[in-house]
Chains A and B, each alone.
Chain A
Amino acid sequence: MTAPTVLTGLPDSGLAATDHSDGWNRPPIIEPDGEGELLEVAMGPHHPSTHGVFRMDVALDGERVIRLKPVFGYLHRNHEKIAEGASYLASMPYTDRLDYFCSLTNNWAFALSVEKLVGQDVPERAEYIRVILAELTRIQNHASTIGFLTQEMGASGTPLMYAFREREKILDLFEELTGSRMMCNYMRFGGCRVDMSAAHLASARKIVAGLPGFIDEFEALLSTNEILMARCQGIGKLRPELAINAGISGPMLRASGVDYDIRKVDHYGIYDRFKFRVPLGDHGDVYDRYMVRVLEMRESVTILEQALKDIPAGPIMDPKSKIRGFRPKPGEAYGRIEAPKGELGFYLISDGTPNPYRYRVRPPSLINLTVLEDMCLGESVADVVVIFGSVDIVLGEVDR
């Protein structure tokens, strides 16, 4: 049996491992012995743990991953082309369906971009409402992500059911306020559609009061669980340089130790008024991503408590904003927010007509997926599913 040859560079790249000209620090890859063949498997699109219709073409040597190619596009719905044919207002309900777990943050990102395009102001109460709803969305997204991650690890859905129990309360509030649990269609250019009444604020306060107990329960179940630690620590490491170069954003980036939270960087909305911390991880593995999400949930609770205390009375829509006949002047704008999954950005080019000339979504899930292969190389196939779950993607966003 010959010794395995050590190849450098990724297959097909033709570049040596020492070539850092494009910023990528390539890992050396061990070519299999040449005796056995590589086992090539397609994981998905029908698979219990691929978070939607998604395929991974994996080449295995025994249990180790030699090559991994993500294949997506099964959920492509022409979102950007539809937006070119529809007015700006008509695109708002379509943005709900991008990352269907977090429809309110999608709405906010789009509203922010359009407001940047036309230079519109937003009244204070509307900004507070936006922050409250966005943080509630963040909490339920992170809880669900952790639930799905543990579901894939085989915990029979128990943490998932607990996360969904809390999520139900938040969704009930969304239904009372916006009319729909998931496809909220709530933000408008210049404010929000419906005012939060005292009853809504009371429900929100009740939910927020119950959240620290829930997060404690969650942590007691999971964070010190030795099996979880064994399955998650040291798996799927992402180096900070690679993360920065690949444009990763969100909890994945912060788990690798990079301090970049768009709420603190861009100072959009009124986030400057709230005191909250940004948790960072040191190892960049799956466990760090899980813990960063848990800590972010706690920080969101802090923000919510402050926002619910300080929310002022006032109008919720800028009186100068128009619902119909909205015709922005020609120009372009890129607006981005810290969505629960990462940096969600909308790039709009307007040519003076009611429909945008170009409407481009920068989906965090898609960009975060680009490093999936780098994280999975050399890991066992049972870990691929876990690493994939820790990236936290939603196919609606990846494929648009």
Chain B
Amino acid sequence: MIDKADQIFVLLQHWLISFLPLALQQPAAVLIGVIGIISVFPAIFALTTVFERKGLGRIQNRLGPNRVGPFGFMQPIADAIKSLTKEDVVPSTANGPVHFLAPVGLVVAVFMGFAVLPVGRNMVLVDMDAGLLFFFAMGASTEVSVFMAGWSSRNKYSLLGAMRAVAQMISYEVVLLLSSVAVVMITGSLSLTKIVEAQNQYTGIFPHWYIFTPWGLAGFVMYAIAATAETNRSPFDLPEGESELVAGYHTEYSGFKFALFFLGEYLAMLSISGLGTTLFLGGWSAPFSFLTFMPSWFWFFSKLMLSIFVFIWMRGTLPRLRQDQLMNFAWKFVLPFTLLDLFVTALWRFMGEGLLRWFVCSAILLAAYIIMGRIAMVRKQFGPRSYRYAE
């Protein structure tokens, strides 16, 4: 019964393809998986937009949208209708085909990334041996479409915005990769399913998720920062800041193409959270050993939604970083710390089991964080100040 609930989608897929002749069964299985991904993740995207607006509202002591549907949950439908019926304005000097292909490219690249995420036990569309590599390859190709958007608009400001966005994404891509290299080192494989299976073990009731190790925690924090920057979310959303001079690479887009950019950005957020969940939070494994009766896909999506909530929470709280501060932060703080994390991961691997490695690794990471933080703030000369009063 529990297994049935856990594998319900797989069983559904098998049942559906059983109607077809044997030769067509394999492609049909893939097709059903694709349809599944294309329907589920945009639905989560719709839910995310509502959660974001209502979440931001609640943080700001107000209600979010609550007129369309019960508690406002039909708001995405209203938004979709709005974006579909808006006039699609393309500048006459713009490069037509490139202008059209940019949002399409973005969405396609992001969807490809979902193919390798293990959503549940036995529920991965393509079980590649180098799944992580494929994911990062697809993630990097989103940057191409960002640049295509900026370039084809023939607008000085869009181009500037696109260049800034690409520079930001490239810098943080390095950090993203390096923090996941730590996971690969410990697991010994690039395959995402193997990474999840390695974390799906329990000592007592506690799971072996990598986030519960010192190097995993540090890696996760660096991964989270890099993920926020990759998807241009607050506090790294200067490329799409409204109160800035350059309005960003999607200035010249309206109507459905703009909605596609929006979709692409949020799907990228979902897929990067999905990867983070897989790498550090144990993918589809349950948090405690007595909770394994719940379906695996339930845990995956819960962790995904938790990451989304944290994204929304950060957006509601933090102001934006300026472009040069963003880049400085990436190259002068996050990247060195990630390299140190790699070193500590190696130390962890070769110190063997036991309590000692916990102490040593935690101590090194904590000390490094404090020292580097202190250096960063002193060099920039900022810090809390005390004020005097007139006599």
Contacts and interface: CB of A to CB of B under 8 A. Distances in A.
B240 to A, nearest CB: 10
Interface string A229-268: 1110110000000000000000000000001010010000
A162 B317 contact: no
Interface string B316-329: 11111111110000
A382 B244 contact: yes
Contacts of B385: 282, 287-288, 291
Given A49-B243, A230-B380, A233-B382, A291 B319 contact: no
8 contacts: A39-B156, A155-B320, A157-B60, A162-B61, A227-B319, A230-B325, A231-B319, A278-B389
Which of B242, B317, B390, B391 has most chain A Cβ within 10 Å? B390
Contact of B241 (A154, A161, A259): A154
Contacts of A98: none
The residue among A157, A227, A277 with the most chain B CB atoms within 10 A of its own CB is A227
Interface in B76-125: none
Interface string B286-330: 000000000000000000000000000001111111111100000
Interface residues of B, number: 38
Nearest to B246: A381
Contacts of B242: 48
B389 A279 contact: yes
B381 interface: yes
B377 to A, nearest CB: 8
B185 interface: no
Interface in A205-240: 221, 223-231, 233-234
Interface of A: 39, 41, 43, 47-49, 63, 150-158, 161-162, 165, 221, 223-231, 233-234, 259, 261, 264, 277-282, 287-288, 291-292, 295, 380-383, 385
B86 to A, nearest CB: 20
Nearest to B387: A279
A174 to B, nearest CB: 21
Interface of B: 56, 59-62, 156, 234-235, 237-238, 241-245, 315-325, 377, 380-385, 387-391
B317 A381 contact: no
Contact of A230 (B62, B244, B321, B388): B321
Most buried by A among B235, B238, B242, B382: B382
B321 A165 contact: no
A280 B319 contact: no
A150 B387 CA distance: 21
A261 B324 CA distance: 37
A281 B245 contact: no
A236 B122 CA distance: 58
B319 A150 contact: yes
Contacts of B238: 154, 382
A295 B390 CA distance: 12
B382 A154 contact: no
Nearest to A235: B322
Contact of A277 (B243, B315, B322, B390): B390
A221 B60 contact: no
Given A49-B243, A280-B387, 18 more contacts: A39-B156, A152-B243, A154-B234, A155-B319, A155-B320, A156-B315, A158-B316, A162-B60, A224-B384, A226-B377, A229-B384, A233-B382, A261-B390, A277-B389, A279-B387, A282-B388, A287-B382, A382-B245
